[in-house]
Amino acid sequence: METQYIPFVDELIELAIREDIGDGDHTSLACIPADEHGRMRLLCKQEGVIAGIEIAQRVLDRLDPQMVFEQVLRDGDRVKPGDVAFYVSGRLQSLLQAERILLNIMQRMSGVATQTAAYVRQLEGLHTRVLDTRKTTPGMRVLDKMAVKIGGGGNHRMGLFDMILLKDNHIDFAGGIRPAIERVRAYLEEKGKRLPIECEVRSLEDIDEVFAAGGVDRIMFDNFSPEMTREAVRKVAGRCETESSGGITFDTLRDYAACGVDFISVGALTHQIKSLDMSLKACE
């Protein structure tokens, strides 16, 4: 796990434990002896790409460090019905407390990874890379973005704090592309920050304005057609990175990539997914 993710992940795990267990798993406490031990397995029930095994182990360690984790698969492995991802043994009360938390995390992360892997396959043979966006479930963003990387995609910015992205509203409120870029450069210099700058454009003419202002690392072509995108890439001529976004579907993804853009950002990687079916059940 990348070190910058750990604080987000640990906070999320604490919240998941509080919202599910509260002051105690009273069902298990009532009917399962405290000293009774057992073993469970994580069983995959659909084809896809599995993700969240590393997070599952972190949840188990947080709930009960005495549990024994036997890993079989790795994050990013392709799975089919009947595959076992891991076994875990320990106190039954701890295993039952962990069950739903693990499944909620792993089913969603695996759904995101599976969706991302399908988009990545659409781009085989092309240099374009598919990226996620900030269209994530509040509080779950770090896991969504980890799952995108596990599925073979790339991460756009984590949030508003680690990249400058001048979108249409920023540009309109600032009075245009040039003043927006100039204010950003002045702000970064004043604050002593070094952040990449990306600027959205809505027409081919906007590209000229971006280069007139200068100092931009990437240009985003917003809601361009493939024909406009091809012309925009020629106009940029390698002077900075290029990205397509807005209205791009799974079926049109490759058409845009064939225009030569460096990146395509797709919100559907994280906000239009189907969780992968799996279960955590008792075993010998």
Active site residues: 100, 135, 167, 200, 222
- Residue 85's nearest CA partner among 97, 98, 95, 72 is 72
Residues 6+ apart with CB under 8 A from 166: 174, 177, 180, 181, 184, 197, 198, 199, 200
Can you tell me the distance from the alpha carbon of 17 to that of 100, in angstroms, rounded to the nearest whole number?
10
Q: Which helix (H) or strand (E) holds 267?
A: none
Pairing of strands 48-49, 78-79: antiparallel
Instruction: Give Rg (Cα) of the chain.
Output: 23
Give SS3 for 51.
Answer: coil
Do 42 and 85 meet the contact criterion of CB atoms below 8 Å apart? yes
How many CB atoms neighbour CB 249 within 10 A? 10
- Residue 218's nearest CA partner among 254, 248, 179, 245 is 245
Classify residue 97 as exposed, middle or buried by CB count within 10 Å of its CB (0-12, 13-18, 19+): buried
Can you tell me the distance from the alpha carbon of 124 to that of 120, in angstroms, rounded to the nearest whole number?
7
Can you tell me the distance from the alpha carbon of 73 to that of 269, in angstroms, rounded to the nearest whole number?
23
